Amino acid sequence: MWYLIGLVWIAAMVFIVTRYNRKQRKRSSERTVQMEALLADLKANPRAVIDALEKPAAPPTPAAAAVAEFSKKPRLLPQSSALLYYVFRTGLPDHEIFAGVALTDVVEIATASSGLPREQMERKLVQQRLDLVVCNKQLEVVAAVLVRNFTPGPQTEGEQFATRCLQAANIRVLSIDPAAPPRHHQVHALIYG
């Protein structure tokens, strides 16, 4: 009985090896035919083959060139924003803190608005980004943080627009100077007043 099992294994091995050798011979003969066709073309028209070989390589496609123009940023957040993120993360451990959120992800336009003014408002919402957004564990927005250098003069138009939108949506807005960040134990009082 064992010798029959051994014979079956040997027969299977012989079958696999012969099939492999047959495929290799077929591939080899196909390559030989291709090479003979190339040599025949070369003998028939040597100048065309030489011109094709000397022709400069095609310039890279626009898609490849566009991809080559990008590189990875060294940090997701600049140092001052990262410090504020960590301060808020430490001061509110039972909250979720998101950085660089688009204003359109936090507020939405009332359904009564329509037409051209609505489209203009949507474009403005998409363009504005919030530095930090504080949410509770149910991901309800609690407050938005705008990092702002407190220099003499009014807020920029974008900051004013973002502040008006957030206040209209009853979301607390905090403007924080990165040069004087709050302490982590002060964050809860800043958010909840």
Q: Would residue 21 count as lying in a domain?
A: yes
Average of per-residue pLDDT across 69-79: 84
Same domain assignment for residues 91 and 180:
yes
Residues 56 and 117 in one domain: no
Q: Are residues 169 and 90 in the same domain?
A: yes
pLDDT digits (tens, 9 = 90+) for 3-40: 888 888 899 999 999 999 999 999 889 888 887 887 77
pLDDT tens profile 146-180: 887 665 556 677 788 888 889 989 999 998 887 78
Token pair of 31 as six digits: 């390559």
Instruction: Tell me which residue range forms the domain holding 62.
Output: 2-68
pLDDT score for 20: 92
Which range is most confident: 107-111, 124-128, 133-137? 133-137
Chain centre to alpha carbon of residue 125? 21
Is residue 164 a part of any domain in this protein? Answer: yes
Q: What pLDDT was estimated at residue 171?
A: 92
More confident residue, 75 or 53: 75
Binning pLDDT at 50, 70 and 90, where does residue 50 land?
Answer: low
- The residue from 14, 47, 68 where one domain ends is 68
- Do 83 and 59 share a structural domain? no
- Any domain includes 74: no
Q: What is the CATH number of the domain that holds 140?
A: 3.40.1350
- Distance (Å, whole) CA 111 – CA 30: 68
| 105, 148: one domain | yes
Residue range 90-104: mean pLDDT, rounded: 91
Please tell me whether residues 50 and 86 are part of one structural domain: no
Spatial separation of the C-alpha atoms in residues 124 and 111, rounded to whole Å: 17
How many domains does the structure of the chain reveal? 2
Q: What is the mean pLDDT of residues 84-103?
A: 91
Looking at residue 52, its amino acid is A
Of the given ranges (72-76, 77-81, 90-94, 169-173), which has the lowest mean pLDDT? 77-81
Q: What are phi and psi of 138, to 5 degrees?
A: -90, 10
Question: Do 184 and 117 have their domain in common?
Answer: yes
State the pLDDT at residue 120.
82
Q: Are residues 58 and 100 in the same domain?
A: no
User: Which tokens hold the place of 142?
Assistant: 């609690």
Residue 155 shares a structural domain with residue 104: yes
Name residue, tokens 């957030």.
Answer: 166
Residues 26 and 90 in one domain: no
Statement to judge: residues 64 and 88 lie in one domain: no
Q: Do 31 and 92 belong together in one domain?
A: no
- Residue 177 covered by a domain: yes
Q: What's the Cα-to-Cα distance from 186 to each of 105, 130, 189, rounded to whole Å?
A: 27, 21, 6
Residue 112 has pLDDT above 80, yes or no: no
Predicted local confidence at residue 96, as pLDDT? 93
Torsional sign, CA 65, 66, 72, 73? positive
Q: What Å distances lie between residue 72 and 69, 76, 93, 100, CA to CA?
A: 11, 10, 30, 17
Strands 129-135 and 96-102: antiparallel
Name the domain boundary from 33, 68, 103: 68
Q: Please tell me the predicted confidence (pLDDT) of residue 39.
A: 72
- Does residue 9 form part of some domain? yes
User: CA–CA separation, 27 vs 185, rounded Å?
Assistant: 74
pLDDT above 90 coverage of the chain, percent: 25
**C-beta separation of 174 from 190 below 8 A:** yes
Of the residues 16, 41, 68, the one at which a domain ends: 68
Amino acid 25: pLDDT = 92
